[in-house]
Structure 1
Amino acid sequence: MRKLINIYTGLLAAVFLTGVSVTAGTVAREGADSDSVATAQKVEIPESSIADEVIWIVGDEPILKSDVEMMRLQGEAEGIKWRGNPDCAIPEQLAVQKLFLHQAELDSIEVSESEVARAIDEQINRWIQVAGSREKLEEYRKSSISQMRQELHDEFKNSQLINLMKKQLVADITVTPADVRRYFHDLPEDSLPLVPTEVEVEIITKQPKIEQEEINRVKDDLRAYTERVMSGETTFATLARLYSEDPGTARQGGEMDYVGRGYLDPAFANVAFNLTDPKKISKIVESEFGYHIIQLIDKRGDKIKVRHILRKPKVSDAAIQEMTHRLDSLADEIRGGKYTFEEAATFVSDDKDTRNNNGVMSYISAEGRTSRFRMQDLPTEVAREVEKLKVGEVSNAFEMLNSQGKTVCALIKLKSRTDAHRATITEDYQVMKNVVLEKERDKFLHDWVVDKIKKTYVRMSDRYKNCDFEYEGWVR
């Protein structure tokens, strides 16, 4: 079901292009439960505006035929195999999503706009990689990057709300070692979970020198923004939407949520927390992300709410080539035994997250922080180099973006590789535990949906009433 939700994410944008006009009113329902999403609903579609068909109603939410068709087309493009008849499976999945969204509303679950924006930008960046460039993507989709962000917003927000709702529902479910052993005791070997290839990687990064002329250009732009706002020509928020290079806040006019000092870059925090007048704009401040100007919105206790504009100076090709050459020379010295990779990472690397750990990369997985990466969890540029290496080998220098979105040059060493294999209880207990835990969670969520259906008003076109649904209770 998670895959189906991901498929639907972003598809509703096309609904806005169909010109559909559907009005939801009220329909009388006999014997409605007090816990229903809606106890009285009606759908009214004026003859003059019929451009689509309401095929289901779940609570007070309609499901349109166009919703189903778009999900079907996307599934075909993705090669998705539906459970049973797609004409039945797709509207059912849309209906289930509406149940989770309604519960999220009841439980006051929220996602921040910055989280939504970050997820949208990650999706758009993946599309750009596939298309080859921003320009090619815009040409293919026949819309600008800004329009794509707007079109994707609601569905990405809903997807995150659904995921948070599910996590809350299953938060207290646990399994014991005895549960794990019992589940796998009688399974044939070819039914045991396949553990994918995992690697451990050490990294050295160096940021190429940015020319002073480029830094001055960015600062001049920020000074010009300040002058335009202070003269009344435009607003700070407008300029942030147009020019800020912080994907998490630009769409909101540069606005950040209330945040404490400890969550901000120290240099940024020092300036932001000293602002007192919302009508003024800060001096230019340099952080690890680039250069900012900041405007105060509000202070609340030990938290602050500001908007900002971020600009990132661009690294020249010449600077990248020079740093690549220096790192290639360092790699030769490491291979020659002059230094170990770990020594070089500790004393040379700019990567503050790894240099105090001999360069070992790590990330936060579902089980906590780990240094063992599946290939798909590595940054794309790093994974590409890992594929070329044997354990203990050092790569040639390559270019990549770091976690702050800055261009850096890097070397990596493949520390270890564990090839794909069938899980064993002694070596892969956590993997096997996760399989059992996931099954228990899926069962709980299935039962929750069935119970929720009983308490929710559902109406569907007659042609769906003979469907073989995954969840019982839709047809009454």
Structure 2
Amino acid sequence: MKKTIYTIAAMLVFGLTAMSGVEQASRATSSQAEAAAPDQSTTNDSVVKPEVVAPESSVVDEVIWVVGDEPILKSDVEAMRMQGLAEGVTWGGDPECVIPEQLAVQKLFLHQAAIDSIEVTESEISAGIDQQINRWIQIAGSQEKLEEYRKQTLKEMRADMHDEFKNQQLIEKMRKKLVEDVKVTPADVRTYFRNMPADSVPFVPTEVEVQIIEHRPRIKQEEVNRVKNQLRDFTDRVTKGESSFAALARLYSEDPGSARQGGEMDYVGRSLLDPAFANVAFNLTDPNKISKIVETEFGYHIIQLIDKRGDKIKVRHILLKPKVSQDEIDASMSRLDSLAADIRAGQLTFDYAATILSDDKDTKNNKGLMSNPTNDGMTSRFQMKDLPTEVARVVDTMKVGQISAPFEMVSRSNGKTVVAIVKLKSRVEGHKATITEDFQVMKDVVLAKEREKVLTDWVVDKIKHTYVRMKDRYKNCNFQYQGWVR
């Protein structure tokens, strides 16, 4: 029954195409002419009025594919193509065929993620957005230059990026779930590489191990007071009926994910929230009241209850982040510069300093050693591309055992500005993989191939059971997956 509804909806959607101003004017003129002219159907049955068909180049936008009940627009393809050009992406085929298929596959994964109740937290989304923006800032040279180039403020960029990053993370979690049970044995690895031609043996990129000490610049009390007073003012305005919580969230909240939704978060369990936030949110009982000010690692919040459903809660919140002053950043730089000098002089070890003095909760209990999450768990080895941008730039020119000068970076855990020093613990230069030295690398190659096969089989099977319709001009494409054309 659902498929029939999808089919009817899709046929209606395919019949509606946005018209350009030229086409609209043309059709309006034709209509006026027809109204003014005599009814030729009664005077000359042999006269047939030609159908006015707008050239494809004049179409502003149109639905080119439908997958399930989700449309793919021509503008979606063009936006992805332009982004690819900006980032130097090579499509491995005709972009007009490759891109719609990629978008269609994404919709299959997103649909399954919704069925399986896959969730991502706002903190995960914010962290991903902050990392991307930080990379852009490094390329542009400064925040001001980036904003000038993109003609947007950072807040506007974050708002525009939110949904895309949320979908990316949902897709990635769904893919991981589908292949979580795929395993390979040592015998599988040896057999695979025994039959591999010598010139096909993978090249292992340079890998490094890095220790880090982070120092979080102090936020001045007057800045904390400013933020708290602003949140108290928001509470008063809502309580007095001068404004709605949602309106204030849209205007002032610094959580890019929920601000555009009036501060509203979707139903979420306690485990996916910051503990301090969860403790206050889950104790709210009256939707007409606003919580006390809550401090989390992300900043300061006020919260309004919307609904409770079992062990999940739906709330609105407003987040404000105290700003770190430049003089406090400079003070942290000076402190870490002195600490690095003491370590170089042998007055204490990097391991000890990281354990006692670092503000990075993710590494301090491991003597500052950074951890890299992989499909098989955590490892201390990083390829340069997997390191935070600021760390990779510093480590790239360092020698093993060397300690860096202090530098400013954005913390991966909460998106806050921190100052850091790093020590290059080890470096393994790039080389051809060998079964004795790089078994894990070779295992990852075989495992990746097995997982990709599982994902390919899943997509092909999913296509069979999903309504798909596309414009005729796409039916001759050489698609990666079979079954799109019916």
> Fold conserved (TM > 0.5)?
yes
Q: Quickly say closer, same or farther: Cα 1:264–1:461, change in 2 above 3 A.
A: closer
Give the superposed CA RMSD.
Answer: 3.5
Question: Which has the larger displacement, 242-251 or 226-235?
Answer: 242-251
- Structure 2 counterparts to residues 4-403 of structure 1, below 5 A: 38=6, 41-42=10-11, 43-45=14-16, 51-52=60-61, 55-58=64-67, 62-104=71-113, 107-112=115-120, 114=122, 119-120=128-129, 122-143=131-152, 145=154, 148-149=157-158, 151-152=160-161, 154-256=163-265, 265=274, 267-299=276-308, 304-402=313-411, 403=413
- Cα distance in 2 for residues equivalent to 1:280 and 1:34: 42
Structure-2-length-normalised TM-score: 0.77
Question: Which has the larger displacement, 53-62 or 206-215?
Answer: 53-62
1:415 correspondence with 2:386: no
Deviation string 1:169-226 (CA, Å, 9 cap, x unpaired) is 3343322222211111122333222222222222222233332222222222222222
Q: CA contact under 8 A between 1:36 and 1:59: conserved in structure 2?
A: no
Could you tell me how far 1:54 is from its partner in structure 2? 5.0
Q: Quickly say closer, same or farther: Cα 1:365–1:249, change in 2 above 3 A.
A: farther
Deviation string 1:384-440 (CA, Å, 9 cap, x unpaired) is 222232111222222223222333322222111122222222232222122112222
Q: CA contact under 8 A between 2:127 and 2:415: conserved in structure 1?
A: no
- Cα distance in 2 for residues equivalent to 1:318 and 1:353: 26
Deviation string 1:211-262 (CA, Å, 9 cap, x unpaired) is 2222222222222222222221112233233223334443443344555666
The aligned residue for residue 434 of structure 1 is 444
The aligned residue for residue 29 of structure 2 is none
- Cα distance in 2 for residues equivalent to 1:247 and 1:420: 39
Give the letter aligned to residue 318 of structure 1.
Answer: D
Could you tell me how far 1:129 is from its partner in structure 2? 4.0
- Cα distance in 1 for residues equivalent to 2:155 and 2:225: 27
Q: CA contact under 8 A between 2:162 and 2:257: conserved in structure 1?
A: no
- Cα distance in 2 for residues equivalent to 1:64 and 1:184: 44
- Cα distance in 2 for residues equivalent to 1:267 and 1:101: 30
Give the letter aligned to residue 44 of structure 1.
Answer: G
1:338 partner SS: coil
Could you tell me how far 1:285 is from its partner in structure 2? 3.7
Give the letter aligned to residue 445 of structure 1.
Answer: L
Could you tell me how far 1:35 is from its partner in structure 2? 7.5
Give the letter aligned to residue 414 of structure 2.
Answer: Q
Question: Which has the larger displacement, 369-378 or 67-76?
Answer: 67-76
- Cα distance in 1 for residues equivalent to 2:118 and 2:389: 31
Question: Which has the larger displacement, 175-184 or 111-120?
Answer: 111-120
The aligned residue for residue 446 of structure 1 is 456
Unaligned runs of 5+ in 2: 25-58
2:422 partner SS: strand
Give the letter aligned to residue 445 of structure 2.
Answer: V
Q: Quickly say closer, same or farther: Cα 1:181–1:101, change in 2 above 3 A.
A: same
- Cα distance in 1 for residues equivalent to 2:168 and 2:272: 26
Q: CA contact under 8 A between 1:38 and 1:456: conserved in structure 2?
A: no
- Cα distance in 1 for residues equivalent to 2:232 and 2:187: 65
2:319 partner SS: strand
Q: CA contact under 8 A between 1:238 and 1:253: conserved in structure 2?
A: yes
Deviation string 1:117-162 (CA, Å, 9 cap, x unpaired) is 6545544444444344555444434455555555545544544444
Q: Which of 432, 435, 441 is 1:425 aligned to?
A: 435
Give the letter aligned to residue 454 of structure 2.
Answer: F
Q: Quickly say closer, same or farther: Cα 1:354–1:278, change in 2 above 3 A.
A: same
Q: CA contact under 8 A between 1:202 and 1:414: conserved in structure 2?
A: yes
- Percent identity of paired positions between Structure 1 and Structure 2: 67
Give the letter aligned to residue 277 of structure 1.
Answer: D
Give the letter aligned to residue 309 of structure 1.
Answer: I
Q: CA contact under 8 A between 1:110 and 1:161: conserved in structure 2?
A: yes
- Cα distance in 2 for residues equivalent to 1:267 and 1:380: 30
Unaligned runs of 5+ in 1: 1-32
- Cα distance in 1 for residues equivalent to 2:89 and 2:337: 44
- Cα distance in 2 for residues equivalent to 1:91 and 1:77: 18
- Cα distance in 2 for residues equivalent to 1:103 and 1:351: 36
Could you tell me how far 1:64 is from its partner in structure 2? 4.5
- Cα distance in 2 for residues equivalent to 1:406 and 1:68: 34
Q: Quickly say closer, same or farther: Cα 1:170–1:318, change in 2 above 3 A.
A: closer
Q: CA contact under 8 A between 2:127 and 2:414: conserved in structure 1?
A: no
The number of equivalent residue pairs is 443
1:204 partner SS: strand
- Cα distance in 1 for residues equivalent to 2:194 and 2:249: 59
Deviation string 1:97-134 (CA, Å, 9 cap, x unpaired) is 444455555x3544457355654554444444434455
Q: CA contact under 8 A between 2:120 and 2:170: conserved in structure 1?
A: no
Deviation string 1:64-105 (CA, Å, 9 cap, x unpaired) is 544444444443333333334444433443444444455555
1:405 correspondence with 2:415: yes
Q: Quickly say closer, same or farther: Cα 1:398–1:448, change in 2 above 3 A.
A: closer
